[in-house]
Structure 1
């Protein structure tokens, strides 16, 4: 029983530490965590329907609408009607969005390299595999 509490504490503290550092980086670039997640998903997957992206970054449709509107207002993404079905909108990165995301990604990746530098590649695979058992 005690080991469960130690494990829980370790997961929560490390998650909070990681989230706090990433939030600081995203704020430097005038983004929130969800906004970064959406930009990252579009960058990685390419233009996607809003519903697919919402599932990918695990947010509700209301939060998705707010986040999409924020990023459109900042000029980082745009909605485009899908040619085969005008009821479906795809989200695309704008040129400004691509340039902005690349700057963030550089700092983000450097941070992650430092944050996880204590682990070997094998340990990273093992930790990932073990934590994925929780979901």
Structure 2
């Protein structure tokens, strides 16, 4: 019988291991997992507000502010004032767009090496399970099931 406590502990440990691997792969570029998450989402979705980034990545405002400030210092993102002066839109810089393919290639190679022991059908099944579960969790925290 499956023990949910052990299942969730394993998922937490898996998350930590994945973060550790991402940090190791991005270290030569001077980036960390949290920064990569922001860069990836901005590349995928385009310009977002800081609040939008926080909500999408499920990150509190203070650590997101620190991550964005680091990325600004590195020249990878910029803040653009919105129509409402209190709203700041975050977008990738030209420098980030030029560097992005190198970062992404390193991540893709890492992903391939970490999942290669699973068959293609197992990889697809895992993707369906994880993405379905994530979607359910996201919709329950955004008012979908409240």
Over aligned residue pairs, what C-alpha RMSD do you find?
A: 2.3
The CA distance in 2 between the partners of 1:79 and 1:129, in whole Å, is: 31
Deviation at 1:31, TM superposition (A): 1.1
TM-score by length of 1: 0.83
What residue number does 2:141 align with? none
Change (3 A) 1:125 1:63: closer
Structure 1 alignment gaps of length 5 or more: none
Q: In the comparison of the two structures, how many residue pairs are matched?
A: 134
Deviates more, 1:6-15 or 1:72-81: 6-15
Deviation at 1:68, TM superposition (A): 1.1
Structure 2 alignment gaps of length 5 or more: 138-146
TM-score by length of 2: 0.77
Change (3 A) 1:94 1:133: closer
Asked if structure 1 preserves the Cα contact closer than 8 Å seen for 2:26 and 2:106, the reply is no
The CA distance in 2 between the partners of 1:63 and 1:9, in whole Å, is: 24
1:27 paired with 2:31, answer no
Structure with the largest fraction of strand: 1
Asked if structure 2 preserves the Cα contact closer than 8 Å seen for 1:34 and 1:57, the reply is no
1:128 paired with 2:127, answer no
